[in-house]
């Protein structure tokens, strides 16, 4: 099994994703440079957080044109697992691998703090280690995490159960106050139709070690490793 | 032809001009005069401060690099070193808050990675004028409604600027301080701190060694921005200051991030001999300082400099302060490799000159020598002033009567004593100086790089060093009010508090960096306060064993004759030998016993209490006994290292009541915990019966600790051996914070209601239509 972490110019959570995969869950991982046109030999690709290309125009708007993104698209079309965290989620939306867009936060300010999210589905390759309805404390850190899409897309996301995480209060109730950025339907993370691409604004890699005060994000990476192991076995 | 008007525009005095002519052996041309004016500016030359800075202790066991380089460096064990420094960006932040603050972060980050260190943490120390409507007083410009509205705008812009730059660059902003006073109304202070990690053998210096080596310009193109920024920062402001907006540079954190990665890669590849950031005075300072440090010279050709706009003169290019640029001396034979690395990161990298044997800065442009100056004339030979000083009387006033009057006045409104003190505590937690700074730090990414083990909000921030089992603790501290009333004692108190803060997090204090913010050095009282500050700081640093690794002096924080309080911000670095000993200020569990180390005296002068109930900054500052301070710190650290302590919190601004409330409040990973306190034993030990002083007095050298009941006697034993006072004052638990003395209730409040007032204070003043 091998993970790949893409480095765009301006990525800054690349080392964090690398650390959690290599040191916390102990799996093989390589960095992938944004100028690469082919990505071979990987089982899962992580698009890390950061400010790709400075994100001066619109988050993820330039990164989608990176040579590596064409390869990531092909990889996902072949069923490869792709996880986009924060800026990675924004890039996935810009690249059309996920629907919708991430707008400026409701209060127009960058927000960095622990938030509660509710696991809406525990039957995905990303969340199999959680329980349905489980409440996780995971940090967010973004200026543009306000998920938006048109009504038809939202209806599709809801009816196809593609919303994987929602912001909620400590009791698991989805409220206006518990939404840190104004996302529609308190969306914190969604998948594509096929379920192999997940984009999420919260940073599970920042909540995977007790030294950092919270381990709620660790099960996401363990779930991924578990799912990949099963997929590899199936292929063999 | 250099006329008196031109000299005046350059802030060069007639005497200084005579000296320039003497050093040059001729009249300088305009470009040369421009170069002298920035290098001899207060900001770059430290001409008024250098004679005093010499008195600071700059030697210590852990010290790898003291003052004089881009950043100070200390050894943190296992072959790792920490490079850290703090720098001011006050003047630009007043003129253009967002970019001024942002480029302050950019500059300090470059100072760190110039040394070969990867920046892993940032902090900042901020001072603004009043932001509350109730403080508006249109009879004074600094408190006028116009000023209060502007203060809010400046604060919002500065915080956003600091956040946006650090967040995009990818360095966590893990702590700092924010405080408010009228003197900062037209003179906000923005001090940016950064810390990086480097292997000892990979440290780089700003030296231009090796005659014939190529001098390479890397990073962003040179534009007309920031010309004379250093000169601007070396003069007081007047009404016309806003017209100086073009002298503020524009930051690009994305370029800086690329520059960081490319520089570190080139360093690791062994392609670099010396490297320096083009900060204040840009190309000028980097080229002459690198030559001066190595005893060589530099010859550069401006035609080769990447330029953002056409038709720039030599004068403009030499004085531009465009951001995100570096000057590198390449190792022979590695020039091409170096260029390839930078091109891979899509950055300009161009040979613009070479190292020469003559110790001169020679600048060519369009086939002519446009400047040719001996390096030493710009650096070592810059003027030094021992400016006149005039002592002012430090306050010795006992403010007890003022406090008593205010308390009895409140009694007539609020009723009984415990209602009055509870009401005072409620006001204190909501005072902007003491209220929660969450509004500020939630705009900073304080977790990126996943090393932040103690996020903003506790006494000191703590960062793990992934490669070792150690953590680093860091804190920025200064109480401007103390320094204003007694500069020497104020500086000592700042060092002591910074040291106490890192001790509370479980760290042994290692060394400091400082940012000395003062008004005009041409005023003798200011210069005296500066000199006193240095002596106070030196005394405290010697006593606590924390040498000075460098820092920054910012004079002329003065607008229309009104200056800032002397504000010497101390940045303390401490080492937590075993990351498991990292400690926070928050009570952990009901049933834990609460102890207070140290004694309380009648220290109400210059207190937050006096400011909140009487609107005054007056009185004698608290007396600091450095021996008692050392004893208290020793007890706390020893008990933490023995694994006996569950929380430790420094007791300072707002006194014991405020510190206890802070320990009760909820934090990122735990719910609020109440406390039942009886000060009887502590009051006896202190020989003090006065309730306001016990509750709100700001005696230094006190630490609140909490521990499991079975560890009390052991901790008391440690305190006894160290000769530090130590009293049981209560127990954690419940939902109330109650304080009593001799069975008499003094404060009774629900923690939740106090916390709400504390959390909502800043948002209520700042989140509103402008």
Which residue bears the tokens 């301080």? B177
Q: Which two tokens stand for residue B674?
A: 């109440």
Give me B306's structure tokens: 């990447």
Residue B230 has pLDDT above 90, yes or no: no
Please tell me the distance in Å from B450's CA to the nearest CA on chain A: 6
Q: Which of B446, B447, B578 has the most A C-beta neighbours within 10 Å, making it the best mutation to test the interface with A?
A: B447
pLDDT of residue B108: 96
A15 is catalytic: no
Grade residue B232 by pLDDT with cuts at 50, 70 and 90: low
CA B647 to CA B704: how far, in whole Å?
8
Of the pLDDT bands very low, low, confident and very high (cuts 50, 70, 90), residue B243 is low
Select which of B10, B43, B682, B765 is catalytic.
B43
CB B596 within 8 A of CB B733: no
Say if residues B292 and B354 touch (Cβ distance below 8 Å): no
Summarize pLDDT for B25-65 with one digit per residue, the tens: 999 999 999 999 999 999 899 999 999 999 999 999 999 99
* Mean pLDDT, range B296-313, rounded to an integer: 95
Residues 6 or more apart whose Cβ sits within 8 Å of residue B52: B530, B531, B534
Whether B279 has a pLDDT exceeding 90, the answer reads no
| Catalytic annotation, pick one of B89, B365, B484, B682 | B89
On whether the CB atoms of residues B332 and B212 are closer than 8 A, the answer is yes
Q: What percent of chain B has pLDDT over 90?
A: 89
For A197, list phi and psi in degrees, rounded to 5: -120, 120
In this complex, the residue of B345, B446, B450 whose CB is nearest that of residue A205 is B450
Structure tokens given for B618 = 């007056």
- Closest to B281 measured CA to CA, from B304, B249, B313: B249
How many beta-carbon pairs below 8 A join chains A and B?
92
Q: How confident is the model at residue B241 (pLDDT cuts 50, 70, 90)?
A: low
- Minimum distance, in Å, between the CA of residue A160 and any CA atom of chain B: 33
Q: What are phi and psi of B677, to 5 degrees?
A: -120, 135
Nearest to A72 by CA among A164, A205, A161, A199: A199
Q: CB–CB of B168 and A10 under 8 A?
A: yes
Whether B164 has a pLDDT exceeding 90, the answer reads: yes
Q: B239 pLDDT band (50/70/90 cuts)?
A: low
| pLDDT attached to residue B472 | 98
DSSP state of A20: I
Which residues in chain A touch residue B258, judged by CB atoms under 8 angstroms apart? 9-10
Interface of B with A (CB under 8 A): 160, 163-164, 167-170, 252-255, 257-258, 345-346, 438, 441-450, 452-453, 464, 466, 579, 668-669, 767
Contact assignment for B448 to A139 by CB distance below 8 Å: no
* Helix intervals (H) in chain A: 14-19, 67-77, 87-94, 151-159, 218-235
Residue B128 CB partners (closer than 8 Å, separation 6+): B151, B154, B155, B158, B178, B180, B184, B185, B188
Q: Which two structure tokens, joined as six digits, stand for B238?
A: 């007047």
Among the listed residues B343, B112, B339, the one whose alpha carbon sits nearest the alpha carbon of residue B214: B339
Predicted confidence band at B439 (pLDDT cuts at 50, 70, 90)?
A: very high
Among B236-240, B477-481, B492-496, where is mean pLDDT lowest? B236-240
Q: How far apart are CA A179 and CA A174, in angstroms?
A: 8
> Region B89-95: what's the mean pLDDT?
93
pLDDT class of B1 with cuts at 50, 70, 90: confident
CA pair distance B490, B477, nearest whole angstrom: 11
**A23 DSSP assignment:** I
Residue B530 has pLDDT above 70, yes or no: yes
**B163 contacts on A by Cβ (under 8 Å):** 110
Residue B466 has pLDDT above 60, yes or no: yes
Mean pLDDT of B555-562: 90
Amino acid A76: pLDDT: 97
The string of DSSP letters for B11-64 reads: T--HHHHHHHHHHHTS---HHHHHHHHHHTSHHHH-TTTHHHHTTS----TTEE
pLDDT exceeds 70 at position B244: no
For the CA atoms of chain A, what is the radius of gyration?
Answer: 16
Dihedral sign, CA of B104, B110, B115, B117?
Answer: positive
Three-class DSSP labels, B124-183: EEEEECCCCHHHCCCCCHHHCHHHHHHHHHHHHHHHHHHHHHHHHHCCCEEEEEEEECHH
Burial B472-496 (b: 16+ CB within 10 A, else e): bbbbbbbbbbbbbbbbbbbbbbbbb
- Crossing angle for the helix pair B655-664 and B751-766, to the nearest 10 degrees: 100
pTM listed for this prediction:
0.96
Q: What is the pLDDT averaged over residues B76-93? A: 96
Residue B234 clears pLDDT 90, i.e. is over it: no
* Cα maximum dimension of chain A: 50
Strands B63-65 and B72-77: antiparallel
SS3 content of chain B, % helix, strand, coil (to 5): 40, 25, 35
pLDDT, tens digit, 9 for 90 and up, residues A148-167:
999 999 999 999 999 999 99
Predicted local confidence at residue A106, as pLDDT: 96
Looking at CA atoms only, how far is residue A172 from chain B in angstroms?
A: 17
Contact residues, chain A, for B254 at CB < 8 Å: 9-10, 51, 53-56
Is residue B484 annotated as part of the catalytic site, yes or no?
A: no
Q: Report the residue of A8, A33, A211 to disrupt the B interface, i.e. the one with the largest count of B CBs within 10 Å.
A: A211
B626-647 exposure pattern, b = at least 16 Cβ within 10 A, e = fewer: bebbbbbbbbbbbbbeeebbbb
Q: Mean pLDDT in chain A?
A: 97
- Report, as an integer, the average pLDDT of B455-475: 96
Mean pLDDT, chain B, integer: 94
Residue of A102, A9, A6 lying closest to A59 (CA atoms): A102
Min Cα distance A121 → chain B (Å) is 25
Q: pLDDT of B112-156, one tens digit each?
A: 999 999 999 999 999 999 999 999 999 988 899 999 999 999 999
Contact call for residues B537 and B549 (beta carbons, < 8 A): no
Residue B331: which residues within 8 A CB-CB, separation 6 or more? B210, B213, B270, B271, B272, B273
CA distance A152 to chain B (A): 33
Q: Per-block average pLDDT, block size 10, for chain A (236 residues)?
A: 96 97 98 95 97 92 94 96 98 98 96 97 97 98 98 98 97 97 98 98 97 96 97 89
What pLDDT was estimated at residue A12?
96
Q: Which residues of A touch B447 (CB under 8 A)?
A: 112, 139, 141, 203, 206, 212
Residue B35 Ramachandran class (φ > 0 left, ψ -120 to 50 alpha, else beta): alpha
DSSP string, B582-643: ---SS--STT-EEEEES---S--TT-HHHHHHH----SPPPP--HHHHHHHHHHHHHHHHTT
pLDDT score for B141: 87
Residues 6+ apart with CB under 8 A from A162: A156, A190, A191, A192, A193, A195
Q: Where are the beta strands (DSSP E) in chain A?
A: 3-7, 29-33, 44-47, 81-85, 101-103, 111-119, 135-142, 146-148, 163-168, 187-191, 197-200
B324-365: pLDDT as tens digits:
999 999 999 999 999 999 999 999 899 999 999 999 999 999
**Nearest residue to B354 (alpha-carbon basis) of B338, B335, B326:** B335
| Residues of chain A contacting B466 with CB distance shorter than 8 Å | 19
Using the beta-carbon criterion (under 8 Å), do A112 and B257 form an inter-chain contact? no
Is residue B242 scored above 80 in pLDDT? no
- Find out whether B349 and B275 touch, Cβ atoms under 8 Å: no
Distance CA B76, CA B573 (A): 10
Rounded Cα distance, B362 and B207, in Å: 17
Tokens of A20: 């959690």
Residues of chain B neighbouring A10 (CB-CB closer than 8 A): 168, 254, 257-258
């Amino acid at each position: 099994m091998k993970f790949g972490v893409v480095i765009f110019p301006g990525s800054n959570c690349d080392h964090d994703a690398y650390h959690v995969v290599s040191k916390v869950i102990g799996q093989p991982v390589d960095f992938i440079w944004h100028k690469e046109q082919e990505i071979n030999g990987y089982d899962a690709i992580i698009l890390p957080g950061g400010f790709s290309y400075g994100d001066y125009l619109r988050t993820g708007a330039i990164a989608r044109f990176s040579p590596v993104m064409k390869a990531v698209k092909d990889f996902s079309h072949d069923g490869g697992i792709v996880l986009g965290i924060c800026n990675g989620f924004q890039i996935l939306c810009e690249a059309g691998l996920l629907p919708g867009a991430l707008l400026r936060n409701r209060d127009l300010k960058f927000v960095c703090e622990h938030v509660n999210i509710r696991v809406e589905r525990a039957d995905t390759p990303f969340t199999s280690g959680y329980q349905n309805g489980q409440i996780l404390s995971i940090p967010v850190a973004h200026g543009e995490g306000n998920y938006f899409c048109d009504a038809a897309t939202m209806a599709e996301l809801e009816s196809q159960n593609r919303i994987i995480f929602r912001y909620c209060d400590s009791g698991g109730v989805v409220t206006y106050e518990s939404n840190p950025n104004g996302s529609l339907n308190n969306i914190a993370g969604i998948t594509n139709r096929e379920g192999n691409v997940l984009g999420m604004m919260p940073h599970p890699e920042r909540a995977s070690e007790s030294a950092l005060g919270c381990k709620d994000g660790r099960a996401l990476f363990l779930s991924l490793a578990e799912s990949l192991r099963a997929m590899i076995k199936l292929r063999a | 032809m250099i006329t008196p008007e031109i000299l005046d525009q350059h802030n060069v005095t007639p005497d200084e001009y005579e000296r320039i002519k003497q050093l040059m052996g001729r009249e300088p041309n305009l470009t040369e005069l421009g170069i002298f004016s920035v290098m001899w500016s207060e900001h770059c030359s430290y001409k008024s401060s250098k004679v005093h800075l010499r008195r600071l202790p700059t030697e210590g066991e852990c010290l790898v690099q003291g003052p004089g380089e881009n950043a100070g460096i200390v050894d943190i064990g296992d072959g790792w070193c920490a490079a850290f420094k703090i720098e001011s960006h006050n003047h630009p932040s007043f003129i253009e808050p967002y970019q001024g603050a942002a480029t302050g972060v950019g500059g300090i980050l470059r100072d760190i990675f110039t040394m070969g260190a990867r920046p892993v943490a940032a902090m900042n120390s901020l001072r603004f004028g009043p932001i509350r409507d109730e403080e508006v007083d249109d009879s004074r410009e600094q408190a006028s409604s116009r000023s209060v509205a502007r203060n809010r705008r400046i604060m919002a812009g500065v915080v956003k600027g600091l956040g946006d730059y650090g967040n995009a660059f990818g360095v966590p902003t893990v702590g700092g301080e924010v405080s408010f006073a009228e003197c900062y109304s037209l003179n906000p202070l923005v001090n940016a701190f950064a810390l990086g990690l480097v292997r000892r053998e990979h440290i780089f210096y700003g030296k231009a060694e090796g005659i014939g080596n190529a001098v390479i310009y890397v990073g962003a193109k040179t534009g007309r921005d920031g010309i004379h920024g250093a000169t601007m920062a070396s003069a007081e402001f007047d009404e016309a200051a806003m017209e100086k907006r073009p002298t503020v540079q524009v930051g690009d954190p994305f370029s800086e991030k690329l520059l960081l990665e490319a520089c570190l890669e080139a360093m690791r590849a062994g392609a670099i001999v010396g490297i320096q950031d083009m900060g204040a005075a840009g190309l000028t300072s980097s080229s002459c300082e690198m030559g001066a440090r190595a005893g060589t010279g530099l010859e550069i050709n401006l035609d080769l400099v990447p330029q953002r706009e056409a038709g720039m003169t030599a004068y403009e290019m030499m004085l531009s302060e465009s951001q995100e640029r570096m000057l590198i001396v390449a190792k022979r034979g590695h020039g091409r490799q170096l260029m390839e690395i930078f091109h891979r990161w899509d950055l300009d990298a161009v040979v613009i000159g070479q190292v020469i044997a003559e110790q001169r800065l020679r600048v060519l442009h369009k086939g002519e020598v446009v400047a040719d100056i001996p390096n030493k004339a710009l650096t070592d030979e810059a003027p030094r002033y021992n400016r006149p000083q005039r002592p002012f009387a430090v306050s010795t006033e006992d403010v007890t009567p003022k406090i008593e009057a205010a308390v009895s006045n409140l009694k007539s409104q609020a009723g009984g004593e415990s209602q009055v003190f509870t009401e005072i505590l409620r006001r204190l937690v909501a005072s902007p100086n003491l209220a929660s700074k969450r509004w500020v730090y939630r705009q900073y990414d304080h977790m990126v790089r996943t090393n932040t083990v103690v996020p903003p909000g506790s006494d000191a921030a703590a960062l793990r060093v992934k490669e070792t089992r150690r953590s680093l603790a860091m804190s920025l501290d200064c109480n401007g009010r103390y320094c204003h009333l007694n500069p020497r004692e104020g500086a000592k108190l700042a060092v002591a508090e910074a040291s106490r803060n890192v001790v509370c997090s479980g760290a042994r204090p290692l060394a400091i960096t400082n940012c000395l913010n003062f008004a005009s050095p041409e005023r003798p009282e200011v210069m005296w306060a500066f000199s006193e500050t240095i002596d106070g700081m030196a005394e405290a640093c010697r006593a606590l064993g924390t040498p000075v690794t460098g820092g920054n002096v910012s004079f002329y924080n003065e607008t229309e004759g009104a200056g800032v309080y002397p504000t010497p911000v101390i940045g303390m670095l401490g080492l937590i030998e075993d990351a498991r000993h990292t400690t926070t200020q928050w009570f952990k569990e009901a049933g834990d016993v609460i102890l207070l180390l140290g004694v309380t005296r009648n220290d109400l002068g210059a207190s937050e209490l006096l400011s909140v109930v009487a609107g005054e900054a007056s009185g004698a500052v608290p007396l600091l006994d450095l021996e008692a301070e050392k004893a208290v710190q020793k007890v706390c650290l020893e008990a933490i290292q023995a694994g006996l302590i569950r929380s430790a919190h420094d007791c300072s601004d707002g006194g014991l009541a405020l510190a206890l409330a802070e320990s009760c409040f909820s934090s990122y990973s735990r719910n609020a915990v109440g406390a039942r306190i009886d000060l009887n034993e502590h009051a006896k030990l202190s020989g003090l019966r006065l309730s306001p002083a016990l509750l709100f007095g700001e005696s230094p050298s006190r630490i609140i600790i909490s521990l499991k009941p079975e560890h009390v006697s052991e901790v008391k034993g440690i305190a006894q051996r160290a000769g530090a006072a130590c009293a049981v004052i209560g127990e954690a638990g419940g939902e109330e914070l109650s304080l009593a003395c001799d069975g008499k209730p003094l404060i009774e409040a629900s923690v939740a209601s106090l916390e709400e007032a504390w959390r909502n204070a800043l948002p209520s003043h700042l989140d509103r239509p402008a």
